[in-house]
Amino acid sequence: MYRPLLPIVRPELVLLAEKAGRCVGYLFAIPDLAMKMRGPEIDTFIIKTVAVLPEPQVRGLGSLLVARAQQIGRELGFRRCIHALMFEDNISLNISRHYASVMRKYTLYSKDLTQ
């Protein structure tokens, strides 16, 4: 899904967490290229995906990954971070509440195509 974004991926903003040789979580973030179309330098990056296995021994890993990504982003010269496309009832909102506020809301629509 993210293959078309490879040319703009900053490897520093792709985090993998391993435990005993297996991946238990990851975070994927990219620079906000929409800023480039508006003219200024790109000073914002977007956390697109955070995923952690639902296992008690890795509880809190999502928060750690987000905190680390924000630290790395700051070190790279970014001034802002967007936590993108969060579901209102998703547990990951608990992470974002520590760092951010809602900037925009979307409505998702669906249609049953089998009828």
pTM of the model: 0.75
Cβ atoms of residues 61 and 24 within 8 Å: yes
CATH class given for the domain over 3-96: alpha beta
Domain borders along the chain are 3-96
At residue 82's C-alpha, the angle toward residues 79 and 85, to 5°, is: 175
d(CA 100, CA 103): 9
**pLDDT tens digits for 90-109?**
555 555 555 555 555 555 56
* pLDDT of amino acid 4: 85
Residues of the chain with pLDDT under 50: none
Beta strand segments in the chain, E: 14-19, 22-31, 44-52, 80-83
